[in-house]
Amino acid sequence: MSDDISDLSLHPSSLDRLDRRILAALQSNGRMSNQDLAQAVHLSPAQSNRRHRRLESLGYIRGYEARLDREKLGLGVMAFVHVSMDRGQHKEVQKFQRTVAKMPQILECHAVTGDFDYVCKVVARDLKSLSDFLLGSLAQLNGVSSVRSSICLNELKSSGEMPLD
């Protein structure tokens, strides 16, 4: 296969080995220079740059971010919060989703199957701050019928890296 990607129609099943190597290299170091990326994937800098920009434009790369240490930032508590919504309140669900997206304490929120409607990853300074947030903010949102939390005792793995095999 040619290293020129202008004729490639990238879909998850058609990412070639060079695309996967570029994605793997960028996952491990998003600040990598184009020269270093080219060396890592054994391409010329121009070919590496074209492929990298193409993967970005097609949405395989959603963005770049610095991973911060929550504890050093004074956020000593992490919890997984299970939220149940009242049934039949479609308008409240949409409002809940918009509101949750704006709450900085909520790092992630996922609509899920099972006993709850959402699972949210929440951080707080301490247990009191978590309690204040859960009882004073999250549980008070219209349409929320229950909020249950599980405190994280020890973070064994935290990664945003996707398996590319």
Give SS3 for 40. helix
**N- to C-terminal Cα separation, the chain:** 19
Look at residue 46 and tell me if it is in a domain.
yes
**36 and 94 part of one domain:** no
Segment 103-117, tens digit of pLDDT: 999 999 999 999 999
Is residue 13 very low, low, confident or very high in pLDDT (cuts 50, 70, 90)? low
Look at residue 163 and tell me if it is in a domain.
no
Is residue 12 very low, low, confident or very high in pLDDT (cuts 50, 70, 90)? low
User: Cα-Cα-Cα-Cα dihedral of 129, 64, 118, 146, to 10°?
Assistant: 10
Q: What is the pLDDT of residue 96?
A: 95
Segment 126-158, tens digit of pLDDT: 999 999 999 999 999 999 999 999 999 999 999
Does 8 have pLDDT greater than 80? no
d(CA 18, CA 15): 8
Domain with 128 in it: what CATH number?
A: 3.30.70.920
Query: What is the length of the chain?
Result: 165
Of the two residues 8 and 130, the one the predictor is more confident about is 130
Look at residue 164 and tell me if it is in a domain.
no
Q: What is the pLDDT of residue 6?
A: 47
Q: Which residue has the tokens 């911060």?
A: 68
The range of the structural domain enclosing residue 136 comes to: 77-151
For the residues of 45-100, what is the DSSP string, one character each?
HHHHHHHHHHHHHTTS-----PPP-TTTTT--EEEEEEEEE-TT-HHHHHHHHHHH
Count of structural domains, the chain: 2
Q: What is the pLDDT of residue 1?
A: 43
* Nearest CA among 64, 66, 46, 44 for reference residue 54: 46
Domain with 26 in it: what CATH number?
A: 1.10.10.10
Look at residue 38 and tell me if it is in a domain.
yes
Q: Residue 74's beta-bridge partner residues? A: none
Distant-in-sequence, close-in-space partners of 52: CB < 8 Å, separation ≥ 6: 22, 26, 34, 37, 61
Segment 19-75, tens digit of pLDDT: 999 999 999 999 999 999 999 999 999 999 999 999 999 999 999 999 999 999 999
Look at residue 47 and tell me if it is in a domain.
yes
**133 and 82 part of one domain:** yes
Task: Give the amino acid at 85.
Answer: M
Q: What is the pLDDT of residue 122?
A: 98
Distant-in-sequence, close-in-space partners of 48: CB < 8 Å, separation ≥ 6: 22, 34, 37, 38, 41
Does 15 have pLDDT greater than 70? yes
